[in-house]
Amino acid sequence: MVVITRRWYSYFMVVVLVILTLVETQGTTCQKPVLSENTTLAPLHSSVNLTCKGCDGGGYWRRHNRQIPSRSGRLALNAVTYTDEDNYTCYMDGAPVCTVQLLVKDELEKPQISCYIRHPTHNITCEWKPTRELRPLAEVTVTAWSITGKHTVTSCSYINSTQTVTCSSPRTEGDTGRYTLSLCVTGRTDSQFSNTLEKSMSDLLLPDPPTDVEVTPVERKPRKLNISWTPPELWLKGLYKLQYEVQYRVETSQHVSNDTTTRTYCTINDALMGRRHIIRVRAMEEFGGPWSSWSKEAVGTPWSDVKDGITTTTLGPSEWYTYEEATTENESKSSIPYKLPTVPRYPWLVAAFSVTLLILLFMIILIRCTHLQLTADAGVLSTYDVTTRQHEIKLLSLKERLLRTLFQSMPTATRTQPPMESQDVMSPCIPPTSETVSVPMLPAAD
């Protein structure tokens, strides 16, 4: 417990020393002007009477040896401005009696500064935009000090075109320490200290926004948009890189989509056909830090085949996408991306066509089977006819042999030569049989 107490006590003492150092530094770098005893302060656009001892009731006043009309030793000035600030001398009998310094009272506002580094090789830049007129010849300085107490004071400039006070504080490239930054405005009668910023160098690295944002449609791709831009001028060359955030939305829509990349181009694959898209880009140092402000908005519309105000695009959803490998800067531009197989736009039409084709195929098979069955039946009938014919021929053959047997058993005188054409009785399609058939004796009536 004692160790923890001592540690916290050490931390507390370090914080106290840092605060005391900052207070002391602010007191020495933003001191109020010291006014002399013979100084007269007058508010801006007010009236004032200048007097001094020895000039009561007479005398006259001069400014740079130019006499100014006065009454009773008093110099009356109306609606004083900063141009009236000067030394005024009263004369009596041609000799100077006293001198009065006229100063317009300062009404300084408390500055609100913002600091950044546009590039890792650049100095720290701080800016302040006054809300009212800054007195002429006012001195503006920026002070940057580290936690060790070392500090640098740098003068600032007022830019009339932008009405902004700009300051530049030197730094070393590669420095990653933390710094405290503050602005001091010193007039002729007063001074004012700004807010204090405590940031590291990485927190201060704020690039300029990208420029020249262009949006182009992709031919025959109604859901794609190509986007390209130019890096900030300070980042065009060198070893330091940026990463980018692309923001896009459909016009009149509140939905916003974002994408990040380290390249200076990208492709939107989910754009809406025929709708105007608004795109803007911002940048950040490659290894982290604050984002830059957004670039100017660019507008683009995806490709569409429009004739006479009528869109005739018939591409299906699957044709909106192609497989594109990640390209590098050295990749050939003539490479052709592989296109995925397309899917018909109306799946129900494909299903109906498939069912119809199956029905037709089933009917063809059924008809074919029926034909084969009829042919088989016909074949059976034909086989039956041939068998019956063979039996008839065999019966005729038996009858013929029976007659021959009868004739052979008769006497020679009465035997008659059988006709030679008896063999023609057999069918030429059935070969003669060589079997010996025993035929029983038939009655004489047969």
DSSP 285-331: ETT----------EEE-----EETTEE-----GGGG--B-PPP-TTS
Report how far residue 116's alpha carbon sits from residue 122's, in angstroms, rounded to the nearest whole number. Answer: 10
CATH number of 39-104: 2.60.40.10
**CA torsion angle 197 140 194 166 (round to 10):** -50
**CATH class of the structural domain 211-320:** mainly beta
Closest Cα partner for 33 from 185, 142, 195, 181?
185
Residue count of the chain, please give it. Answer: 446
Which among 325, 96, 300, 118 has a CA at the least distance from the CA of 209? 118
Q: What is the pLDDT along the chain (446 residues), one digit of tens a residue?
A: 444 555 555 545 544 444 444 444 444 568 899 998 889 999 999 999 998 888 877 788 999 888 888 887 889 999 999 999 999 999 888 889 889 999 999 988 999 999 999 999 999 999 999 998 888 888 999 998 876 667 889 999 999 888 999 999 988 888 888 889 999 999 999 999 999 999 888 899 999 999 999 999 999 999 999 999 999 999 998 889 999 999 999 998 989 999 999 999 999 999 998 899 999 999 999 988 899 999 999 999 999 876 555 544 433 333 333 333 333 333 444 333 444 444 455 667 778 888 888 898 888 888 877 766 666 555 544 555 556 667 777 777 776 776 666 555 554 444 444 444 434 333 333 344 444 444 444 444 43
Select from 143, 166, 83, 119 the least CA-distant residue to 285. 119
Determine if residue 252 is left, alpha or beta; phi over 0 gives left, psi from -120 to 50 gives alpha, anything else beta: left
CB proximity list for 378: less than 8 A, separation 6 or greater: none
- Domain boundaries defined on the chain: 39-104, 107-204, 211-320
Whether the pTM exceeds 0.95: the reply is no
Give long-range contacts, CB 8 A cutoff, 24+ apart: 351-356.
none
CATH of domain 107-204: 2.60.40.10
Dihedral sign (CA 6, 7, 8, 13): positive
What is the structure's pLDDT at 374? 64
Residue reference for tokens 């300051």: 167
- Report how far residue 310's alpha carbon sits from residue 300's, in angstroms, rounded to the nearest whole number: 20
- Classify residue 92 by its DSSP letter: E
